Chain A
Amino acid sequence: MFRYIVRRLLQMILVFIGTTFIVFTLMFAGGEGDPIQNLAGERPVSAIQRAQLEQQFHFNDPFLTRYWHYLTDLLNLDLGTSLTGRPVWDLITERFPTTLMLASIAILVTIVFGITAGVIAGIRRGGIFDNITLVVTLIIIGIPTVVLAPIGQLLFGIKWPIFPATANNPATWYELLLPGIILGMLSVATAMRLTRASVSENLRADFVRTARSKGIPRRRVIGVHVLRNSLIPIVTFIGVELGSLMGGAIITERIFNITGIGNLLYKSLSLGDAPVVVGTVSVLVVVFLIANLIVDLLYAVLDPRIRYE
């Protein structure tokens, strides 16, 4: 277990350096003309802001030195100050709870509905429930969030106002329910298909035959032996899924006017507030990496074969 953790940590450090370098390069590399104006876009930059940006991003240093500054600042949680004069870290932490609530609803929906439906479909493979859910999930997978979110808002927030169509600041759990479900839809469908495949594979596994030959009740065979093994790929999936959840959250937060991280990113992009954009993207990438590391460790907890590799 210890060796596994060490190896994952080393890999994570490598990935961390690689990803932040790419993000940094994407934001600052190349481009002719004034780098500061490049960051800000068409927005006019005052002399004070110019000096502040100079100081924060070290434009006079060589590229790699600038990356080094960026990396150490990031590790010190020093994300600079926004063009509106507020520390970027404060802006992020202020909005983080809302986005976390939204993501929790999405993940909860994924786990509860996706896994339940997947287990039922996996047990009754080829049955009516299985065939219907297969088609329905395929359709859900095929509809991007950018369609699902506004249409969902139109149907359940405006036409039949079961849920609030927009959220206040800060948002309540109830206001986040519809956007959370919409955000979770995609993962529900994928989780369901994955669970189904995994359950029906494990149902035919030799160890299930053994468990049945021990005379254990069928419910226990499925609930303990099959499910425990099927959880392994599902946990991995949820980690990977966080990345697309972030993309989806930016869209969902915009549609439902939720003041979360995605909204912050979107607003600062359109306002040309470079420090906020750089800070938010970096933090989100780091959150994604940490989430994946947690999933990796969870994976080892669930699968002893990995643990003692």
Chain B
Amino acid sequence: MTDIQVQPGHVPTGHALLEVKNLFVEFHTRDGVARVINGVSYHLNPGETLAVLGESGSGKSVTAQAIMGILDMPPAKIPGGEILYKGENLLTMSEEKRRQVRGKEISMIFQDALSALNPVFPVGWQISETLRTRAGMSKKDALARAVELMDLVKIPAAKARIKDYPHQFSGGMRQRVMIAMALAMDPKVLIADEPTTALDVTVQAQIMDLLGDLRRDLNMGMILITHDLGVVADVADRIAVMYAGRIVEHANVHELYKHPAHPYTEGLLDSIPRLDSKGTELATIKGLPPNLLRPPTGCAFHPRCRYAKDVCRTDVPASLNLGNGRTSACHFAKEMLDGTLR
């Protein structure tokens, strides 16, 4: 698998803040080697929002954890690729230097805030921890700043709640605590890994709005990882769709929604419930995501693809540049755009 030549499918515009180049990640398990990331490349410009979309197991979170440098190695291994932040390769940096990047330059929020926050420390303590240990603030100043951060993420009565523990907050408020914690060191990039998945639908919208506002106000770049096409439309500038450890399609939001250039993206779009299609059966993508211990030959999506041809079963499709920064890893990407693929 590693010998496949993958073209860098993305075209950075201007000076990318963060750039993932041809990244490979594998997990060494008792049952063999799972190649979870197979040549992923994407970039993030200052102040923009990139959505990374995919099913669970597609490798979207693993890519993010590789960027943060919080993958457990072993079992994970990074046999190839580069992750450039402001032109410097994070993967070859010393661990100490890399630690300085974490939280301060690139920050991350996680899916389940209840388990991602330490249950035995008050939230104020947790938000101010980096300020005390890394920015050298006094305990008092750090706590005062923590209150400001909690105000910033719109937690009501922040000052009174600073000594409360994570389990005393509602799901939405906990997620806000996590966001406040991630913002403590004024990061330039915020990675949000399924920030709303564990929340109620109404709260989901509030958190997404908050993230959008914060990104704009603080002028951060944001990588939004999600499996839900519905939540990205309003927030994202560009979308990278991942499947089986590869980016299968990359485009700006409007083009992708209007004309998907990969059958998988099309399947995802068809499976969004719409108000105007009441009464028709909701389409689903049949089949299951591939077993990465023994991936299918050729295009990893072919067993589930309704257009699959012989070539899909034998040849791995290269990432085709469709112009205007748009790419698709489908043998028939052009036909898809033309609407001639059957």
- The residue in A205, A215, A302 that gathers the most chain B C-beta atoms within 10 A of its C-beta is A215
20 more CB-based (< 8 A) A-B contacts, given A204-B72, A209-B70, A215-B134: A205-B115, A209-B110, A210-B116, A211-B129, A213-B102, A213-B107, A213-B108, A214-B103, A214-B107, A215-B103, A215-B185, A216-B134, A217-B99, A220-B133, A228-B120, A229-B118, A229-B120, A303-B119, A304-B165, A308-B165
Which 8 pairs between the two chains have the least Cβ-Cβ distance?
A215-B103, A215-B102, A206-B115, A207-B118, A304-B165, A214-B103, A206-B116, A213-B108
Task: Report whether A215 and B118 are in contact in the complex, using a CB–CB cutoff of 8 Å.
Answer: no
Query: Interface on A for B, CB 8 Å cutoff?
Result: 204-207, 209-217, 220, 225, 228-229, 232, 302-305, 308
CA distance A211 to B130 in the complex (A): 9
A228–B165 Cα gap in the complex (Å)?
15
- CB pair B167–A304 under 8 Å, yes or no, is yes
A308, B133: Cβ atoms under 8 Å?
Answer: no
Contacts of B336 in A (CB 8 A): none
CA distance A232 to B120 in the complex (A): 10
Q: Report the number of A-B residue pairs with Cβ-Cβ less than 8 Å.
A: 77
Please determine whether A303 and B120 come into contact, CB atoms closer than 8 angstroms: yes
Which residues on A sit within 8 Å (CB–CB) of B99? Answer: 215, 217
Asked if A305 and B110 make an inter-chain contact with CB atoms under 8 angstroms apart, the answer reads no
The answer, yes or no, to whether B242 is at the interface (CB within 8 Å) is no
A304 partner, pick from B68, B100, B110, B120, beta carbons under 8 A:
B120
Ordered by A's residue number, 14 sampled pairs between the chains whose C-beta atoms are within 8 Å are A206-B112, A207-B117, A207-B118, A210-B116, A210-B118, A210-B178, A213-B108, A215-B99, A215-B130, A216-B133, A228-B120, A229-B120, A304-B119, A308-B165
Q: How far is the CB of A301 from chain B (nearest CB, A)?
A: 10
Tell me, rounded to whole Å, the shortest Cβ–Cβ distance linking B71 to chain A.
10
A305 touches B134 (CB 8 A): no
A308→B165 CA distance, assembly (Å) = 10
Q: Nearest chain-B residue to A217 (Cβ)?
A: B99
Residues on the B chain within 8 Å of A216, using CB = 103, 129-130, 133-134
- From residue B291, how far is it (CB to closest CB) to chain A in Å? 23
| Closest A residue to B191 using CB positions | A213
**Residues of chain B having any CB pair with chain A under 8 Å:** 65, 68, 70, 72, 99-104, 107-108, 110, 112, 115-121, 129-130, 133-134, 165, 167-168, 178, 181, 184-185
Q: Is the CB of B102 within 8 A of A207?
A: no
B119: chain A residues within 8 A (beta carbon): 207, 229, 303-305
Which residues of chain A are within 8 angstroms of B130 by Cβ–Cβ distance?
Answer: 214-216
Chain A residues, CB < 8 A from B120: 228-229, 232, 302-304
A212 and B110 in contact (CB under 8 A), knowing A220-B133, A229-B120?
A: no
> How many Å lie between the Cα of A216 and that of B112 in the bound state?
20
Q: Which of A213, A217, A305, A308 counts the most chain B CB atoms within 10 A?
A: A213
> Which B residues lie within 8 Å of A228 (CB)?
118, 120-121
* Closest chain B residue, CB of each to CB of A220: B133
With most chain B CB atoms within 10 A of its CB, the pick from A207, A229, A302 is: A207
A220 to B132, CA, bound (A): 12
Residue of B nearest to A226 (CB): B118
The answer on a CB contact under 8 Å between A206 and B110 is yes
Query: Chain A contacts of B104 at CB under 8 A?
Result: 215
Residues of A within 8 A of B101 (CB): 215
Cα-based distance from A260 to B104 in the complex (angstroms): 59
Q: A213 to B165, alpha carbons, bound, how many Å?
A: 20
Whether B168 lies near A308 (C-beta < 8 A) is yes
Most-contacted residue by chain B among A206, A220, A225 (CB, 10 A):
A206
How far, in whole Å, are A215 and B93 apart by their CA atoms in the complex? 14
Closest Cβ of chain A to B122, distance in Å, is: 8
Contact indicator B115/A213 (Cβ below 8 Å): no
Residues on A with C-beta less than 8 A from B181 are 210, 214
A206-B116, A207-B119, A305-B119 are known contacts. Are A212 and B167 too (CB-CB below 8 A)?
A: no
Contact of A213 among B103, B117, B133 (CB under 8 A): B103
Known: A207-B117, A229-B118. A214 touches B102 (CB 8 A): yes
B89, chain A: closest CB distance, angstroms: 18
* Closest Cβ–Cβ distance, residue A59 to chain B (whole Å): 54
A204 contacts across to B, CB distance below 8 A: 72
Q: Report the separation of the CA atoms of residues A206 and B99 in the bound assembly, to the nearest whole angstrom.
A: 18
A3 CB, nearest partner CB in chain B, Å: 15
Nearest-CB residue, chain A, relative to B165: A304
